[in-house]
Amino acid sequence: MYYANMNTIFTCIRKRKGAGNVSKKNNISSILLATSLFFTSCGGEDNPVNTSVDIPEESKFENPISIEAVDGLSDEFIFGCDMSTLIAEENSGVVYYNEAGQVQDPLKTLANNGVNMIRVRVWNDPFDENENGYGGGNCDTENAIAIGKRVTEYKMNMFIDYHYSDFWTDPAKQMCPKEWDGMSIEEKSDALYEFTKESLGKILVAGIDVSMVQIGNEITCGMAGETEWEDITMLLNSGSKAIRELAEQYHKDIKIVIHFTNPEKIGTYAEYAKTLDAYDVDYDVFATSYYSYWHGTLENLKSVLSDIIKDYDKKVMVAETAYAYTYKDGDGHKNSVSYGAWGEFNYEVSVQGQADAVRDCVATLASLGDNAIGICYWEPAWIPVPDNTYMTRSEMWEKYGSGWASSYSSDYDPEDAGRYYGGSAWDNQALFDFEGHPLPSIEMFKMMAGTICSSK
């Protein structure tokens, strides 16, 4: 997932001169008060959605969903979910429930509903010099281990997503980790190998059942600060080498994933795959993000992934997808998807529309045969931090990293995260409602697999 320049998310804030230009850490209460005022003026606690337009009436959350099983799915098809912010959410007071209204680990709820893999991103060092977290889950190796132990307990597989940055990477931004700044490409390549070997080694030693590892995140524009393909592919092969060595050492079958985005841009995926092949990059899975409102048609997705399979005999998957079930905003931090937002919204914004969007994506992959191995729903549990005021939620985002970015991120990413930090921009695309109860759409994985029928 990416927050490319945050243009859509924070348009109203940018209209205020100087909004968010705060980097002092010794007066957090002032920062939070200022932030609260900015968000209130743009639709904060008392006005969490854009009331300048008429938001369509939405389906009741308790309504059941109805989707057909997808023909041609193998028993090994991956129904994954990215749960990177889970620990930060729980530390901030978020409580999750099962369908009966009982408190339950959301990982167990997902497993009970047919999810068989959990993806977690890993940043190198998402903390400032005083160990204050940048936010977005403060996703370091220890966070992955904490989540991974629970994933393994519920008999799901683990998918590690290395960004090779200290914070978010996306099609517009691939920042070098602080520790690697100023290194030559040879030095950086060695550092990436050592980091991967150390981090993944710790995860495997902890007994976590890792089945896939991703080298870089949405590396459309580069990786770890590098933009030339000769250098990028050197880094990719350093990561692959570390993973292959650990897989052999621990007798694991670990698939290596390379992840791009923007499949709608004609010819780009063919060029990426050709480049990887030309530089003999060692990998197993060519992965893409696919958000239907941003990334073109499913017909195009099928075409570009089909070419990867046919020309290079690689596995393919959708490493990130999601859809909104409501236009509402649960925490006063404007959402990536809101009424009137940029994109093509060809499905109803409801729990049924959410399930339909994912089901159609899975059916498209299934039509490609056994080389299409699965999907991963992005951040289905990143819901609002519970509290009555934006100010108190902000304190939790700052303290535990449960918002998309904290003010501390200004040290590393001053032009984006350091200016527009705040809460979750994804709460209306989760599979749990704003209070932590599973939505009916959480059953879609079992329905697609044919293990349960429609709940209507």
> Among all residues, which ones are annotated catalytic?
218, 320
The upper half-sphere exposure of residue 81, i.e. CA atoms within 13 Å in the direction of its Cβ, equals 28
User: What is the rounded distance in angstroms from the CA atom of residue 218 to the CA atom of residue 227?
Assistant: 13
Chain position carrying tokens 């809101």: 338
Q: CA Rg, the chain, in Å?
A: 21
Helix, strand and coil content of the chain, in percent to the nearest 5, comes to: 35, 15, 50
114: buried, middle or exposed (CB in 10 Å: 19+, 13-18, 0-12)?
middle
Cβ(197)–Cβ(242) below 8 Å: yes
The three-state (H, E, C) secondary structure of 167-211, written as one string: CCCECCECCCCHHHCCCCHHHHHHHHHHHHHHHHHHHHHCCCCEE
User: What is the rounded distance in angstroms from the CA atom of residue 418 to the CA atom of residue 23?
Assistant: 7
Q: Where are the beta strands (DSSP E) in 282-433?
A: 285-289, 315-321, 372-378
The b/e string for 19-42 (b: 16+ C-beta within 10 A; e otherwise) is bbebeebeebeebbebbbebbeeb
Q: Give CA 67 to chain center in angstroms.
A: 25
User: What is the rounded distance in angstroms from the CA atom of residue 221 to the CA atom of residue 258?
Assistant: 13
Classify 405 as helix, strand or coil: strand
Q: Would you state the structure tokens that stand for residue 178, as one six-digit string?
A: 């602080």
The upper half-sphere exposure of residue 366, i.e. CA atoms within 13 Å in the direction of its Cβ, equals 19
Cβ(385)–Cβ(396) below 8 Å: yes
User: What is the rounded distance in angstroms from the CA atom of residue 52 to the CA atom of residue 54?
Assistant: 7
Chain position carrying tokens 């040879």: 186
Chain position carrying tokens 């001053």: 414
Q: Would you state the structure tokens that stand for residue 62, as one six-digit string?
A: 């308790």
* Torsion (CA) 287, 288, 290, 294 in degrees, nearest 10: 180
- Bridge partners of 255? 212
